[in-house]
Structure 1
Amino acid sequence: MTLSSSPTRPVGLLLLAVAVMAVFALCADAYRFRDDESSELSHLLMKLRRDQHRKHCWKYSLDGLTESQLTKCARRFIHFANQQLRKRKHRSSLASFHYNVNINKRNKELLTRVDTKYRRFSSKLTLFALKFKGKRMSGLSASDARMLRDLQWNMVFGRRKDSSRMSNLDSQMSQSYDTAVGCYAPGKCLDSGEDNVKNFFRTKNDYDQLRYLWKSWRNATGAKFRNAFVERAQLLNESVYAFFEYFTDFEDPKFPETVVSLYNQFKPLYEQLHAYLRHRLHQKYPGKFAANGLLPGHLGDDPWGSQYTKWHNEFVPFPAAESIDFDGILKDRERRGLLTVPQLPHVADEFYRSLGLPKMTETFWRKSVFLKPKDHKMNCHGTAFDMHSASRDDFRIKMCTRMDMSSFSTVHHEMGHIMYFMLYSHQPVLFQGSANSGFHEAIGDTITLSVKTAEHFQAIKFAKHLNDTHESQVNTQLTQALENVMFLPFAMTVDLWKWRYISGKVPKEQLNQDWWRLRGLYAGVGPSVSRSEADTDALSKYHAAKNIGYVRYFISFLLKFQFYKAMCEEAGHKGPLSTCDFYKSTAAGDKLRRMLQLGRSKPWPDALQQLTGRRDISADALMEYFQPLHNWLKDYNAKNGVPVGWTVPANPMQSASN
């Protein structure tokens, strides 16, 4: 019977109107994904409201569901997300591993295809998760609520054209950055790529050539990225989720202020180290810059002035003191047939087992790659992989191991990632991750602090007696400080600068001025040549241009000393903190295990408390670790009349170099 001949025509029309309104509401929903079933949405909506047990309830409008129905739907969605993410992470990890150990066109194409599918699926999950935002679901467990929130925190865009434009901007900047060329003199240029520029800075000391390259690299990168960065920031502000809501795995609404507070804790050490470095560089390059001013930005290990380890040998506090030759010890054992390169990963495994932690799996030993292949290209940078296998036993490392201290440290570091993977593998996939983005790197670095000591080499019988004097310890600490302490202000400034602009605190007309104001304020570093707003020098760093979080490195550098001190105390260490080796301390290992097995299942302060007994990140342990060097720096600077501190000029973009 048709509507026109029905005696209940008003009711029929009313139902039709309701259905039409529902369809329009669905089309207007910014979070809607249009799939093959879009023509049946109205029908499915009505069916969903009658059937709270529908398998994929989250795909449709949640309006009209009771609180009980919403809670059940959310639980099913979280279960679905965990189940599907494991499968997709497994595929993505496989593709990434095989590309990195065998670099060829076919593997690259496969990796690109798999990663694209993973990103699309991840974005779809986030859009579904956002449907539950603001809904009352008191019956949802704390764990489920946390997983749902993590899904909602992903960066997403309400309009497909925005997402597509963002991808295009990223692709353009990546391609331009990867092919950028730096020149160290007119007509004298390096091969394309950041690595060649970094290598020149690390190995060359010609003041004018470094300054020329410093400017050239910025002309090839930051100056070209300004418009794309500004457009990208606008897209972020128009996205479905506000910037500060999704970029906050530190769970601290005042995190920028927290970062500055942490800086003030280690500032006394940084100021003394900066003064000594500036003093020695001024002696090397007399008249090139002010003895009490900002350091020109081109005198470090890289084009950003983030680390200064290349000056260690020249500026060592005690030149006559004998330093421990770890490389020599390792090579001597190799020469005598007592140690081979393939055995180094087993040495690292034994260290973790000595702490009472689980041994590496059979799959790990069978599928990891530790030697550079002779018949194909491989990415030699040490990397740990969680393959997300259903059997929870597939974890791998790829690196090109050599018989030196760098490889010895790297294999211990990467195995720290593996240990984290193993210990949280029992968690749901959404909880299989770092408590916050600083934890993962800090774990391996903590272990490295322990194994790079004279005490450890004696404990594992690689050396009978090493004369580690106070002078040699201070010498070693200077190297560590030029790497770690000098890096901290740069690591915090990259994201502070981005936060200030994207949150509207700084207009786009003052982007470069604000960058150099922050660099001067926190690092005492200025531009090597005068700059303008068109330069946008922060974007000469890949992470800044691509909006990749960098503050994680700031946090991890502080956490590693905090973790290290806690484990040393648990091991009963006596003496200077920098001489601690917690090898064979099952008590320290047990504390570490309790933190690692939580993964992301608890707020990071809960995880931190498991190991350190406190819930806040602090620079106290870093200050204690470097106390011998700090004392020496204060004494040297005072005795030699070295000016300490600096003043940021009214125009922070003016050259710090004469």
Structure 2
Amino acid sequence: MWLWLWLVLHICLTRADPPDPGLETFLKDANQQLAVIYDQAVLAQLLHELRGPNDLVALLDIEVTDNKLVKYVRTLSTRKAKFRRLGLGDDLQRRQLSKLPLLGYEALPDRDLRRVYELASNMSDNYRNVKLCAYKQPDNCTLRLIPEVQSIVQGSRDLDEIEYYWFEWRRRTGLATRYQFVAFMDLYKKTAKLNGYPRAEDYWFRSLELGAQEAMTLLDHIMHGLRPLFLQFHAHVRGSLRKMHGLGLVPRDRPFPQHLAEVFIGNAFRRVQPEWYVDLPAPQFGLSNITQELHRRGLTTTQRVFWNVAEFFRGVGLPLLESSLWEYAQPVSTDDDDRCWHKAWRYYALPRTNFTYCPLNDEERFFNMFEAQSDLHFYRAASAQPTLLREEPFPNFSDAVGKFFSLAASSPGYLHKMGLLRDGQWKGLPARLNRLYIQGLRVVFLLPVFYVLDRYRVEVLSGHIKGDDNEAYWRFTEHFTGSAAPSKRSNQQFDVPAKLLMEVDDQYASQFLSIVLQFQLFNHFCTKTGQFERGNPKMPLDLCDLSDQRSIGKDLQRALSLGSSVHYRKVLQELVGEPEISVDGLLAYFQPLNDWLEKENEKNNLDVGWK
């Protein structure tokens, strides 16, 4: 008797909830309507991409489609709340319901709404359009940060000039927007509550589907794992800066000067000569010049690069792209190198994808082609999902997959197959260390900066610090990035907006996680294909070559086809066999560099850490 009752109770408790017909009708209509509006938005953005940032017709089209989306989302809000309150539907229906767009700022009263958009626009315009006066030329106030000021400081050996631009940029973009930043963060808190988030810091991480405490615990865990490598690398860079600028400017046991470190690290993103780095691991081996080799190999047109990269994806078991995709591809303007990139475009109601390309042919655009084609494969894999579930599991997830493929393409083994590395020394440790050193400058020093920018704003949103607590910002900066201002900064100044490369409300956590995830993916697939063995110096991760490993495609397509139908942890479990983002892959990739840094720092008596 008791056994029978237990079985009945067990069946009742474990039986899946049935789909609800009313909710099904509501979701079907929402998916269809949103698909049409999203397609209109994609077409408007495509027009903007092709015609340039100042085309009024394209800008007007974007505004019209944005307004159309807001109006439609407003019509959904009441019924969405009703279905959620009643708890109707099966798991898939409830998942779609949770993915309906929020009103966001549009939930604010009209006066606050106008104010929040005005503040965001003013801060964005100030960052992008502010002009600085040239050093010792007060009548020449025409310099933009990118590219003019950036080019000047990265090529300058005049320390007074570098320091001048550091202070001037922060005065014009940080202090000038201080009160706007504080007002914006207050309105952000109000927005969070109106969207159903009593704690504004939870609203900040809503796209990760994690509460603030859980998200920060994850970020802290990754930072803790990164710390030993970061400290060794920091000590070595500080030693190089000391050689370049002297003990007076770069003292022992202290954070390095941020204005000098920004130039040193920033040059890793430019094609500088190897001799610029005073302590490159093996200067006699130099650095590979992929741009030069592309031209030598005859890969001088974007079309040739496109099909060579498409063949790489076919080799890892993903479908070969159809010829019509390139036939209808359109070039973008080359007027601004920083805006000239390859890009995939996906539609929701229309059964197609588009491709735009940058006609420039250099190293950056070569690896960018892997990222753009990766997006194409993601869009197509997720296209079977309803509109509401076709997005990434979290923002920049697709970017992580694309960066994983560009990381795989940067493998010396693959580049050698392509004829882009010719000498026989590319497998040797000295040449590898040079490459890892430059890659490390781009990755290892970037993560703490991203962490600080989100940590600061989360502390503001949670009420732990004031919105313009500049001293708190520098405490975070010194502790996590090991850098300090040229002279002590106080609450009389305000420097946070000067470092926000994106919009004021864009979170860096998803970019932070995306960078870490690309190495986790590389670690997983290199281990699975038997090309990496932890602890075996004869099978290091940085020499893994995934080209022609056809088993990869099946695993990737299965995971990517999930879209956002499940939490990102379930996607990761399917993709890499573990449910959380881990820094282990990044550490394994840079292990040879870490070993070298430890030996060099000890040999040269370089101080590790700071007081």
Aligned 8 A contact 1:369 1:398 in 2: yes
Give yes or no for contact 1:225–1:545 (8 Å, CA) kept in 2. no
The corresponding residue for 2:364 is 406
TM-score by length of 1: 0.81
- CA contact 2:382–2:390 (8 Å) conserved in 1: yes
3-state SS, counterpart of residue 259 of structure 2? coil
Q: 1:488 aligns with which of 431, 436, 447?
A: 447
1:110 maps onto 2:60 in alignment: yes
Deviation at 1:283, TM superposition (A): 1.1
Tell me whether 363-372 or 619-628 shows the greater mean CA deviation.
363-372
Q: Percent identity at matched positions?
A: 23
Amino acid at match of 1:285: H
Match of 1:601 in 2: 565
Corresponding position: 1:474 with 2:426: no
- Of residues 264, 275, 281 in structure 1, which corresponds to 2:235? 275
Long gaps (5+) in structure 2: 1-16, 533-538
Task: Name which one, 1 or 2, has greater alpha-carbon Rg.
Answer: 1
2:215 to 245, 255, 265: 255
Letter in 2 for 1:579: L
Assess, with a 3 A threshold, how the Cα gap between structure 1 residues 593 and 387 changes in structure 2: closer, same or farther. closer
With over 3 angstroms needed to count, the CA separation of the structure-2 counterparts of 1:514 and 1:346, relative to structure 1, is same
Distance 1:221 1:101, change over 3 A: same
Cα 1:614–1:495 shift into 2, 3 Å? same
User: Over residues 433-476 of structure 1, what are the superposed CA-to-partner deviations in whole Å (9 max), with x where a residue is unaligned?
Assistant: 11112311111111111111221023345566642111000011
- Kept after mapping to 1: 8 A contact 2:280/2:434: yes
User: Quick check: 2:474–2:489 contact (8 Å CA) kept in 1?
Assistant: no
1:325-367 superposed Cα distances (whole Å, 9 cap, x missing partner)? 3233212112xxx764421011111111111212224553133
- Give me the whole-angstrom Cα distance separating, in 2, the residues matched to 1:74 and 1:195: 52
Counterpart amino acid of residue 502 in structure 1: L
Letter in 2 for 1:227: Y
Q: Pick one of 142, 145, 159 that aligns with 2:94.
A: 145
Q: Where do 5+ consecutive residues of structure 1 fail to align?
A: 1-67, 648-658
**In structure 1, which of residues 324, 338, 348 is the aligned counterpart of residue 309 of structure 2?**
348
User: Structure 1's 370 and 628: CA in aligned 2 closer, same or farther, altered over 3 A?
Assistant: farther
Q: Where do 1:367-378 residues align within 5 Å?
A: 367-370=328-331, 372=333
CA–CA distance in 2 between the matches of 1:73 and 1:381? 47
Letter paired with 1:98 = L
Pairing of 1:457-472 with structure 2 (within 5 A): 457-460=415-418, 466-468=424-426, 469-472=428-431
**How far, CA to CA, are the matches of 1:112 and 1:249 in structure 2?**
23
Match of 2:402 among 437, 444, 463: 444
How far apart are residue 278 of structure 1 and its match? 0.5
Secondary structure, in 3 states, of the residue corresponding to 1:185? coil
State the 1:571 CA deviation: 2.5
Count of residues in correspondence between the two structures = 571
Number of the residue aligned with 1:40:
none
Distance 1:193 1:631, change over 3 A: closer
2: CA distance between counterparts of 1:352 and 1:608?
Answer: 21
Structure 1 CA distance, aligned partners of 2:201 and 2:30? 24
Question: Can you list the C-alpha shifts for 1:261-291, whole angstroms capped at 9, x where unaligned?
Answer: 1100011000000000011101100121322
Could you tell me how far apart the structure 2 residues matched to 1:177 and 1:634 are? 39
Deviation at 1:107, TM superposition (A): 3.3
**Are the counterparts in 2 of residues 538 and 544 from structure 1 also a CA contact under 8 Å?**
no
- The one-letter code of the counterpart of 2:116 is M
Secondary structure of residue in 1 paired with 2:355? strand
| Aligned match for 2:517, one of 559, 568, 571 | 559
**Is the 1:371–1:401 contact (alpha carbons within 8 Å) kept by the matching residues of 2?**
no
SS in 1 for 2:545: coil
The 5 Å alignment of 1:52-131 reads 72-103=21-52, 105-121=55-71, 123-124=73-74, 127-128=77-78, 131=81
Residues 78-120 of structure 1 show CA distances to partners (whole Å, capped at 9, x for unaligned) of 2222112211111111111122112253433434433432552
Task: Report the residue type matching 1:199 in the other structure.
Answer: S
Give the secondary-structure state (helix, strand or coil) at the position aligned to 2:144.
coil
Q: Within 2, Cα distance between the matches of 1:72 and 1:184?
A: 67
Shift of 1:515: 0.9
What is the identity, as a one-letter code, of the residue corresponding to 1:349? A
2:610 is the counterpart of 1:646? yes
Query: In 1, Cα distance between the equivalents of 2:558 and 2:379?
Result: 13
User: How far apart are the structure 2 equivalents of 1:411 and 1:621?
Assistant: 23
Matches within 5 A, 1:23-62: none
Aligned residue for 1:328, secondary structure, equals helix
Alignment check: 8 A CA contact 1:184 1:210 kept: no
Paired with 2:127 and 2:599, the residues of 1 have a C-alpha distance of: 44
Counterpart Cα distance in 2 of 1:301 and 1:519? 13
**How far apart, in 2, do the equivalents of 1:224 and 1:173 lie?**
9
Aligned: 1:393 with 2:357: no
Pick from 597, 613, 617: which aligns with 2:581? Answer: 617
What SS class does the counterpart of residue 593 from structure 1 fall into? helix
Equivalent in the alignment of 1:246: 203
Name the SS of the counterpart of 1:474 in structure 2. helix
Given the superposition, is the C-alpha separation of residues 487 and 517 from structure 1 closer, same or farther in structure 2, using an over 3 Å criterion? same
Distance 2:289 2:18 in 1: 66
Q: In angstroms, what is the RMSD of aligned CA positions? A: 2.8
Q: Contact conserved, 2:569 with 2:580, CA < 8 A, in 1?
A: yes
Q: Are the aligned partners of 1:101 and 1:379 in contact in 2 as well (CA < 8 Å)? A: no
Partner residue, 1:228: 180
Provide the residue aligned with 2:259 in structure 1: 298
Is the Cα–Cα contact under 8 Å of residues 49 and 332 in structure 2 kept in the other structure? no
Deviations 1:536-590 (A, max 9, x none): 2111134576211112221111000001111212322141100111111111121
Which residue in 2 is equivalent to 1:214?
A: 166
Query: 1:467 & 1:319 partners in 2: Cα distance?
Result: 13
Q: Secondary structure at the residue paired with 2:356? A: strand
Instruction: Give the secondary-structure state (helix, strand or coil) at the position aligned to 1:298.
Output: helix
Deviation at 1:251, TM superposition (A): 2.3
Question: Secondary structure of the equivalent of 1:547?
Answer: coil
Matching residue of 2:127: 177
User: What TM-score do the two structures reach when normalised by structure 2?
Assistant: 0.87
The one-letter amino acid paired with 2:158 is: D
CA distance 1:96–1:623, change in 2 (3 Å): same
